[in-house]
Structure 1
Amino acid sequence: MSEASSSETSSIATSQTEKLKLAALVGVLGVVYGDIGTSPLYSLQACLGYVTKGGLKTIDVLGLLSLIFWALIVTVTLKYVTFVMRADNNGEGGVLALMALAQRVARTSRTRYVLMLVGIVGAGLFLGDGVITPAISVLSAVEGLGVASPAFNRLVLPIAVAVIVGLFLVQRRGTGAVGKLFGPIMTVWFITIGGFGLYRIVLDPKVLRALVPSYGIHFIVRHEFLAFIALGAVVLAVTGAEALYADMSHFGRRPIRLTWMFFVLPALVLNYFGQGALVIADPKAASNPFYLTMPHALLIPMVILSTIATIIASQSVISGAFTVGSQCVQLGLLPRMEVRHTSLTEEGQIYVPQMNIALAIGVLVLVLGFRSSNALASAYGIAVTGTFLCTNILAALVFHRHFNWSRWKTILIWGAFFTIDAAFFSANILKIVEGGWVPLAIGLSIVVLMTTWRRGRGLLFARWQQDSLPLASFLGRLPQSRIVRVPGIAVFLTGNPEYTPASLLHNLKHNKVLHETVFFVTVRNLDVPIAAPEDRIRCEELASGIYRVGIGYGFMDSPNLPRSLELLREQGLPFNPMQTSYFLGRETVVPAMVPKLGLIRRTIFLFMLRNAISATEFFQIPSDRVVELGVRVAI
């Protein structure tokens, strides 16, 4: 529940308000903290792998614990919870929302283009994270079976594959009903891991010395280059920090901040330090410190709880990937994709079939290729730290220009965050050969797709504008023409409101008639999450019965053209859905004499164009009211 909604419920009884607040806090746990909440499954284990050779020393365990603790404090608590969450775009968070906000305060078109590239890279890496998170989370949870009994080791991979296949199969049904269970389950999860950690700390309270940052500094000074490499594993403890910002629109800042400061952070710290206390007492426990902190009799129930928790973490990332994909379509960075709404009440619950298939294939390939969570750890860090860097760059500009921070204050604070993020990213770059190439390949592929689509659509639009007739010229000739006006309403979609739609010219050429009422409709993608009522639709009359209409959609809106056009009736215009025909153009792209797209990029663009869903489906236009007219375009 957001701060705004809290004020709206001030008139409700205090007891009911408290219940609403509690429900919001529990809901935050299920949606926001799944990723970072399951990091203890593999983070410390991956860190200890760098210092176990030659015998594990207490000072090294304390040093790694100190680095993990201060990474949670600086990166999550200070950077994201304290600062980044202030930079919301009309309540929305996430790298694309931040990109739109940064572009709004940019002063030159070149700066806006650079910021767009930063946002595209961040979105690409986030989608890469959406492939890696389910793979490493589910694998690490199921690997607990091997701790219970070595005989179960051969079952780890088949069970992990089965869980992942089931996870992606249920996406089409939506997460509404299951989502109600996410919060309570994650509440139990955090209480459980915090409790087991506290038990181990009580047995060896000296482990709390790691709260002092000097232990982390000493670890870095003592190990030098090895410590630098180990930073690549330390960052695994803060994976999911981006989710705090990305999911801000669902709950508001206050519930996310409260749950982090007073529940999630303490539970995570207790568990990490409990694992550390166990490893100090028994260095052999470094093989899987998370599960070995628990009594043997509780291992199987804990494996089940861990698997459920990782499914929740994976579900959160997958849902986030669907949202980012939908935003990319609205921002013109990806071709139109089918977006199904799985809830009648929650606008944000969506299912994107094409993305679901792509994510499922990617996750299964990683699981079968790497076969263990330790092997995947090297691939995980680059996606996370790359997104951190992109967010850092965009946030620095927003705080300088939008919040009017001085240049020196911006450099001091965001420069410090950038230095830390760059250190984490550089440490992971060293793991490219071990698996770090995976997120880079995924991110680069998505960046190529987005930039190719944007470039190709730009060329199509430029060529269409070159071959089109200015609307003013068409309207000027209309009174002298002998065009027959027939009853009915015609809607022509056009990308540029100053030019006559090609579909209208083709209709006149073949049918030689014009409807009594004509709407030239241009859809505008706004750099806000949800279009304000005054920006939703604007209309002006150009000639008798001919109107120019602009319809605005934010990047979180679900386009529905007929529903938007019905708003015209509120302005006294003659719009009747049952008498309306929609005229759309369908482009057939052919190579130009001097192609402006290289062969590879043109091939990619044509593939994306062929697989984009039709405008009829995307704008939710009744198919029995659509007339499509083809046109050949050379680029």
Structure 2
Amino acid sequence: IVLATLATIIASQAVISGAFSLTSQALQLDFLPRVRVVYTSSEQMGQIYIPFVNWLMFLGTIFLVIVFRSSGNLASAYGAAIVTLMVITTLLMYVCAVSKWKWNVILAVVVTACLLTVDLAFFGANIIKINQGGWFPFLIAVLVYLVVITWTRGRRALAEEFKKEEISFDLFLSDPGLKSVTRVPGTAIYMSKNPNGVPRTMLHNFKHNKVFHERMIILTIYTEGVPRVPWPKKFKVERLEHNFIRVIAYYGFMETPDISHVVTYLKDHGIDCSIQEITFFLGRETIVVRDPRGFDGLRKQLFAFLSQNMLPATSHFNVPPNRVVEIGLRIQI
């Protein structure tokens, strides 16, 4: 009993840590809406706690206990999950072998076929138990896939919509009227997904207030396909006309973007700015669904719900709340 209890504790901790780590990486790759991530160690970046995921796993565990009642009844669900994972891992290994390891295609096919012969034998033996509990892992997989695909496609559609109305920086800076625009003291940072386009928040702010700050910084944050980006390669700064500055920050998918890093880098490279004197302008998007009918309408409503309830950018990027101006943007989909 003692050994079984210890094994259960170790296994549960592995599942919890894995769920936190995968969720964190999915957040950095913009596969999921932002949620709160708590760093539990000042020395190890990978030690994290995600309250939302923790509560989901808690509720999921209670659901499993109520529905299946005993560990024996979970055997089919566990078996279906494991053998499906084996098949997916083998298929992904083939993709990796061909695209990353540069294996000969014939060799990769032979190795994959040998592994799949074993995997599919187990898969076939377990798939017939789908009605005995094997449905549960597939249900979870479908729900997670639905959220991920809805979020990624929704964000891509929004980006394409924004791009249609976007003004290039070259065109914007060539406007002779910029010289006569009133400038107020201080530094403004506008966050933008496209470093070559004028942020919508900046245009909306100018439309209503008719002024610019004396120093205008356009900040774009990219998540690279590597775990971490070394400090010397993390930032790119370009000085533009009319005291505009373009800053691109590169982070790995295991890193969390932090505005204080950007400000520190700028100060070290001769740009006089203090985080307590900067005004951060962020956009707050409100998604309105035109037609909520049908499956497509349900997905749009799900995307609107996820957008409305995701963690604010101020918390995600560690922006001082008292230095933020949020500009609302109403978008119909």
CA distance in 1, matches of 2:169, 2:85: 44
Give 1:324's aligned residue.
Answer: 22
Structure in which a larger fraction of residues adopt helix = 1
Q: Hey, what does 1:547 align to over in structure 2?
A: 245
Change (3 A) 1:595 1:361: closer
Shift of 1:308: 2.6
Tell me which residue corresponds to 2:159: 461
- 1:386 and 1:566 map into 2 onto residues whose CA distance is 47
Moved over 4 A (4+): 478-481, 592-597
Instruction: State how far apart, in whole Å, the 2-side matches of 1:478 and 1:521 are.
Output: 24
What is the CA-CA distance between 1:592 and the residue it aligns to? 4.4
| TM-superposition CA deviations, 1:381-406 (whole Å, max 9, x none) | 22222222222222212222332322
Partner of residue 391, structure 1: 89
AA matched with 1:410: A
Which residue identity does 2:47 align to in structure 1?
A: Q
Which protein shows a greater Rg?
A: 1
Higher RCO (C-alpha under 8 Å, 6+ residues apart): 1
Structure 2 CA distance for partners of 1:454 and 1:595, relative to 1, 3 Å: farther
Identify which of 241, 247, 269 aligns with 1:571: 269
Aligned pairs (5 A) from 1:134-533: 303-477=1-175, 479-533=177-231
Seen in structure 2, the aligned counterparts of structure 1 residues 594 and 357 have a Cα distance that, compared at 3 Å, is closer
Please show how residues 58-97 of structure 1 align to structure 2 within 5 Å.
none
Establish whether residue 621 from structure 1 lines up as the match of residue 325 from structure 2. Answer: no
- AA in 2 matched with 1:498: N
- 2:38 partner letter: R
Counterpart of 2:281 (choices 578, 583, 589) is: 583
- Superposition deviation, residue 522 in structure 1: 0.9
Secondary structure of the residue aligned to 1:422 is: helix
Structure 2: stretches of 5+ with no match in the other structure: none
Alpha carbons 1:536, 1:564 under 8 Å: kept: no
Q: Which whole-Å CA distance do the structure 2 matches of 1:400 and 1:567 have between them?
A: 39
Partner in structure 2 of residue 150 of structure 1: none
The two structures, once aligned, show a CA RMSD in angstroms of 1.9
Between the aligned partners of 1:344 and 1:350, the Cα distance in structure 2 is: 11
* Structure 2: distance between partners of 1:620 and 1:310: 36
TM-score normalised to structure 1 length: 0.51
1:449 offset after TM fit, Å?
A: 0.3
SS of the equivalent of 2:222 reads: strand
C-alpha distance in structure 1 between counterparts of 2:37 and 2:279, whole Å? 24
- Deviations, residues 271-326 of structure 1 (Å, cap 9, x unaligned): xxxxxxxxxxxxxxxxxxxxxxxxxxxxxxxx133213211210111111011111
2:214/2:243 contact within 8 Å kept: yes
Q: State the AA in 2 paired with 1:345.
A: E
Query: In structure 2, what is the Cα distance between the partners aligned to 1:618 and 1:356?
Result: 18
Greater CA drift, 568-577 or 504-513: 568-577
Partner of residue 256, structure 2:
558
Q: Is the contact between residue 463 and residue 634 of structure 1 (CA under 8 Å) also seen in structure 2?
A: no
- Aligned twin of 1:169: none
Q: Which amino acid aligns with 2:240?
A: L
Tell me the distance in 2 between the aligned counterparts of 1:564 and 1:596.
45
Identity rate of aligned residues, in percent?
Answer: 38
Do structure 1's residue 536 and structure 2's residue 234 form an aligned pair?
yes
Q: What are the superposed Cα offsets for residues 217-274 of structure 1, whole Å, 9 maximum, x if unpaired?
A: xxxxxxxxxxxxxxxxxxxxxxxxxxxxxxxxxxxxxxxxxxxxxxxxxxxxxxxxxx
Describe the SS at the equivalent of 1:497: coil
Q: Tell me the distance in 1 between the aligned counterparts of 2:292 and 2:311.
A: 29
**1:375, 1:594 → 2: CA distance?**
39
CA distance in 2 between counterparts of 1:491 and 1:480 reads 18
Give 1:453 shift.
Answer: 0.3
* SS state at 2:134 partner: helix
Work out whether residues 456 and 597 of structure 1, in 8 Å CA contact, stay in contact via their aligned partners in 2.
no
| Structure 1: tracts of 5 or more residues without a match | 1-302
| Equivalent position SS for 2:15 | helix
Structure 1 position 614, deviation (Å) = 0.3
* TM-aligned CA deviation for residue 593 of structure 1: 7.6
Say which is worse superposed, 417-426 or 334-343, in terms of deviation. 417-426
**2:306 corresponds to:** 608
What is the aligned partner in structure 2 of residue 23 from structure 1? none
Equivalent pair of 2:90/2:112 in contact (CA under 8 Å): yes
Shift of 1:633: 1.0
Q: 3-state DSSP class of the match of 1:548?
A: strand
1:60 equivalent in structure 2 = none
Deviations 1:126-145 (A, max 9, x none): xxxxxxxxxxxxxxxxxxxx
Distance 2:327 2:58 in 1: 36
User: How far is 1:597 from its partner?
Assistant: 8.4
| Offset, 1:502 | 1.1
Report what 1:252 is aligned to: none
Pair 1:595–1:561, CA change in 2 (3 A): farther
Higher strand share: 2
For the 8 Å contact 1:530–1:555, the answer to whether it is kept is yes
